[in-house]
């Protein structure tokens, strides 16, 4: 790790999204923030989360579980157990952490309280919160018609816009407060529509992001996703984010996207595009140190802190 990473860390960070992309980001920055809150999608309707949602009416816990495990200490046995998945019997396919979170939510009365309790059990570095305390249904308008459900949206192409129902969804107060007090709001990396925007477009949260004075950063995926973002340029992806949640300040883009003619301007609309090497394994995943270095370079003198101050 470079000298800069040893001495400086990001200020207060809210990271929004879901899936492996958000979990990887949290793992990269968890030791470099004075306050870290993950705001996680609850629109999943596939796999173990989908089964718990259908059978129990549960808030889908899978993305929350991955983020909690990512923020747990590296030597945490309980953190490892949270990711254990049963391979046979009636529990086949369920991750143990999903069952624990569902039980905590039923016991404590809400998934936000369940995540706080699980975080305390795990000793996590930061907070993990659902973007809503009820399961959300993801809808998309596409060039071929409307589709409903996260799995269906993920498999769709030509997406024109997305929204969540119920329309009057309530966002936990702790989420709104974290966004209001953040130095950085980081979106992604992750599936653009079904992870990143799905976690951000509940109307109260969308308004909080728009009103926040935080620097808003989109971390782009390393490659397009089949169907969901297939054929979308970086400009198209920025436009989709602006359409759904308002202006963003900066996009972090891996330099593999920057072949001649693919991306020329330093700005797309009002958004600064920062090109950097973000992957060291041929573009398969973001490199933690490279991603952190790129994020730290976005800090100005008012949002960089020295450890110990």
Q: Output the tens digit of pLDDT for each of the chain's 309 residues.
A: 343 444 447 889 999 999 999 999 999 999 888 899 999 999 999 999 999 999 999 999 999 999 999 999 988 999 999 999 999 999 999 999 999 999 999 999 999 999 999 999 999 989 999 999 999 999 999 999 999 999 999 999 999 999 999 999 999 999 999 999 999 999 999 999 999 999 999 999 999 999 999 999 999 998 888 899 999 988 899 999 999 999 999 999 988 766 544 555 577 888 998 888 898 887 788 888 899 888 888 775 334 433 333
Nearest-CA neighbor of 36 among 182, 140, 226? 182
Let me know if residue 308 belongs to a domain. Answer: no
Let me know if residue 110 belongs to a domain. Answer: yes
What is the domain range of residue 170?
A: 3-299
Let me know if residue 199 belongs to a domain. Answer: yes
Let me know if residue 307 belongs to a domain. Answer: no
98 three-state secondary structure: helix
Instruction: Specify the CATH number for the domain of residue 180.
Output: 3.40.50.10680
Number of domains in the chain: 1
Cα–Cα distance measured from residue 246 to residue 174, given in angstroms and rounded to the nearest whole number: 21
Let me know if residue 142 belongs to a domain. Answer: yes
Contact residues for 302 (Cβ-Cβ < 8 A; gap 6+): none
Let me know if residue 304 belongs to a domain. Answer: no
Let me know if residue 265 belongs to a domain. Answer: yes
Let me know if residue 306 belongs to a domain. Answer: no
Contact residues for 45 (Cβ-Cβ < 8 A; gap 6+): 53, 54, 60, 137, 138, 149, 150, 151
């Amino acid at each position: 790790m470079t000298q800069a990473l040893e001495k400086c860390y990001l200020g207060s960070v809210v990271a929004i999204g879901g899936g492996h992309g958000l979990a990887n980001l949290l793992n990269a920055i968890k030791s470099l923030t004075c306050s870290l809150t993950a705001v996680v999608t609850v629109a999943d309707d596939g796999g173990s989360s989908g089964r718990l949602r259908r059978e129990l009416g549960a808030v889908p816990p899978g993305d929350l579980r991955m983020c909690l495990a990512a923020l747990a200490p590296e030597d945490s046995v309980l953190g490892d157990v949270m990711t254990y998945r049963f391979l046979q019997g009636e529990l086949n396919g369920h991750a143990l952490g999903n069952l624990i979170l569902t039980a905590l939510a039923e016991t404590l009365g809400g998934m936000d309280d369940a995540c706080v309790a699980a975080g305390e059990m795990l000793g996590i570095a930061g907070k993990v919160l659902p973007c809503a305390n009820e399961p959300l249904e993801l809808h998309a308008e596409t060039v071929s018609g409307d589709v409903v459900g996260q799995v269906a949206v993920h498999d769709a192409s030509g997406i024109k816009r997305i929204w969540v129902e119920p329309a009057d969804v309530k966002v936990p107060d702790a989420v709104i407060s974290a966004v209001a007090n953040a130095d950085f709001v980081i979106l992604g990396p992750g599936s653009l529509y079904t992870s990143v925007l799905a976690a951000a477009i509940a109307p109260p949260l969308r308004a909080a992001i728009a009103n926040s004075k935080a620097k808003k950063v989109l971390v782009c995926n390393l490659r397009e996703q089949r169907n969901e973002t297939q054929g979308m340029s970086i400009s198209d992806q920025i436009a989709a984010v602006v359409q759904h949640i308002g202006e963003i300040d900066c996009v972090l883009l891996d330099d593999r996207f920057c072949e001649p003619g693919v991306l020329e301007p330093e700005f797309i609309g009002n958004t600064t595009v920062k090109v950097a090497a973000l992957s060291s394994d041929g573009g398969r995943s973001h490199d933690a140190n490279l991603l952190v270095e790129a994020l730290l370079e976005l800090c100005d003198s008012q949002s960089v802190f020295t450890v110990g101050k």
